[in-house]
Amino acid sequence: GESVGLHLPTLSVQEGDSAVIKCTYSDSASNYFPWYKQELGKGPQLIIDIRSNVGEKKDQRIAVTLNKTAKHFSLHITETQPEDSAVYFCAASGNQFYFGTGTSLTVIP
Amino acid sequence: KAGVTQTPRYLIKTRGQQVTLSCSPISGHRSVSWYQQTPGQGLQFLFEYFSETQRNKGNFPGRFSGRQFSNSRSEMNVSTLELGDSALYLCASSLGYRLDEQYFGPGTRLTVT
């Protein structure tokens, strides 16, 4: 089955800096890659996604890049703000969703 | 459009009991997936229902079961509760086609004592 891994369990950045969270996957048949943000006491919120026929997607301060050859995709957050502090989950999907274990991002004011 | 709702939000049960959790998907969504979230294991897929049929199943014991009704609402049941079943149970809904976005509810926090 699919295996999804996050490179960093925690990440701290200064407010205004950029944050990059990288995720790897094992199944080359996976073709949909969403990123979720989970704040304390809430369910995961879909923030951006990318499909395998696209290399990059951007939505304001958030972007996702996909490298199908290397089987990894990354979440990029620019001009980070304290409210970006949360746990971020990546997922890979073929027939079902496989989630990584999450990266806890802390933005220091 | 209302989001995914889950009831109850919090639940405390005793080992050996059973529990039923409920999920109402976004209007128009026909697929409901259930996940178990624990600090050590992250998000683990339980099962997915589409048009009242279980379409996918994760690697959980038979004590975990679910069903979906004709209005797409779904329930999951855990029988003979164990301490290790304490977790946040999340459901997510989608239109049901491949490569669809999944939207999560707030979850039900289950504590087994």
B74-78 and A56-59 as β-strands: parallel, antiparallel, unpaired? unpaired
Cα distance from B91 to chain A (closest Cα, Å)? 9
Q: Which residues contact B35 (CB under 8 A, 6 or more apart)?
A: A99, B43, B44, B45, B46, B89, B90, B91, B92
Inform me whether the C-beta atom of residue B96 falls under 8 Å from chain A C-beta atoms.
no
Inform me whether the C-beta atom of residue B104 falls under 8 Å from chain A C-beta atoms.
yes
Taking 50 as the pLDDT cut, the residues of chain B under it are none
- If you count residue pairs, one on A and one on B, with CB atoms under 8 Å apart, how many are there? 50
46-65 in B: which are within 8 Å (CB) of A?
48, 56, 58
Task: Outline where A22-99 has alpha helix (H).
Answer: none
Out of B42, B45, B107, the one facing A100 most closely (by C-beta) is B42
What is the predicted pLDDT for the residue at B94? 93
Q: Does the beta-carbon distance from B45 to A97 stay under 8 Å?
A: yes
Phi, psi of B99 (to 5 degrees): 65, 25
For residue A82 the two structure tokens come to: 């304290």
CA distance A90 to B4: 20
Give yes or no for a contact between B65 and B76, defined as CB atoms under 8 angstroms apart. yes
Q: Which residue of A has its CA nearest to B91?
A: A43
Q: What is the pLDDT along chain A (109 residues), one digit of tens a residue?
A: 677 887 788 999 999 999 999 999 998 889 999 999 999 989 999 999 999 888 999 999 999 999 999 999 999 999 999 999 999 999 998 777 889 889 999 999 9
Q: Is B63 left (phi over 0), alpha (psi -120 to 50) or beta?
A: alpha
CA distance A12 to A20: 11
Q: Which residue of B has its CA nearest to A51?
A: B99
Q: Which residue of B has its CA nearest to A43?
A: B106
What is the predicted pLDDT for the residue at A94? 76
CA distance A45 to B39: 18
